[in-house]
């Protein structure tokens, strides 16, 4: 009878704990609301839900931070995002690199594309407030 070595047992445990990759990518969508302000430094936060076509759902907290030449105050309601390159819902979590140019008064629209390794996120939304500028930074999605 063969003995299982501690090394083989550890390898089996690690392999069992890794998320399984399905045959192909899944379609995931983010719906969110966020508000924030900027005066050279830009910050915003909010909440949302990620839902995927395979039935997975997750409540999330979102944050955006950055700097540049940016001034204003805004709120995005009923924002949406489309992910690409996702094989499991947990892959949407993390920090995305961002760069944007924006301008708006009273009612404004915004679209932005950002990336985190192989996963990309395209955001769109309409909001209220005023803002103008150019900003660079990060967009963070965390479980709620």
Q: Sheet containing 119-143: give its strands across.
A: 26-52, 57-86, 119-143, 94-116
- Residue ranges per domain, the chain? 22-143
State residue 53's pLDDT score. Answer: 97
Structure tokens at 1: 């009878």
Quote the CA–CA distance of 110 and 91 in Å, as a whole number: 24
Look at the block and give the residue holding tokens 């192989």. Answer: 118
89 phi/psi in degrees, rounded to 5: -55, -30
Q: pLDDT truncated to tens, each residue of the chain (144 aa)?
A: 445 554 434 434 344 444 444 468 999 999 999 988 887 677 889 999 999 999 999 999 999 888 766 677 888 888 899 999 999 999 999 999 887 666 666 566 667 889 999 999 998 887 777 666 666 688 999 999
- Residue 60 makes CB contacts below 8 A (sequence gap 6+) with 30, 32, 47, 48, 49, 50, 92, 93, 141, 142, 143, 144
Domain 22-143: CATH class, spelled out: mainly beta
State residue 132's pLDDT score. Answer: 66
């Amino acid at each position: 009878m063969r003995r299982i070595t501690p090394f083989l047992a550890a390898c089996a445990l690690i392999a069992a704990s890794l998320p399984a990759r399905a045959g192909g990518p899944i379609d995931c969508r983010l719906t969110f609301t966020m508000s924030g302000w900027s005066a050279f430094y830009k910050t915003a936060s909010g909440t949302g839900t990620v839902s995927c076509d395979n039935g997975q759902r997750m409540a999330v907290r979102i944050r955006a931070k950055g700097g540049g030449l940016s001034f204003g105050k805004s709120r995005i309601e009923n924002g949406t995002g489309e992910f690409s390159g996702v094989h499991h819902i947990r892959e949407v979590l993390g920090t995305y690199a961002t760069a944007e140019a924006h301008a708006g008064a009273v009612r404004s629209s915004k679209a932005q594309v950002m990336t985190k390794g192989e996963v990309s996120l395209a955001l769109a939304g309409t909001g209220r407030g005023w803002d103008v500028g150019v900003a660079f930074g990060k967009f963070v999605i965390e479980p709620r």
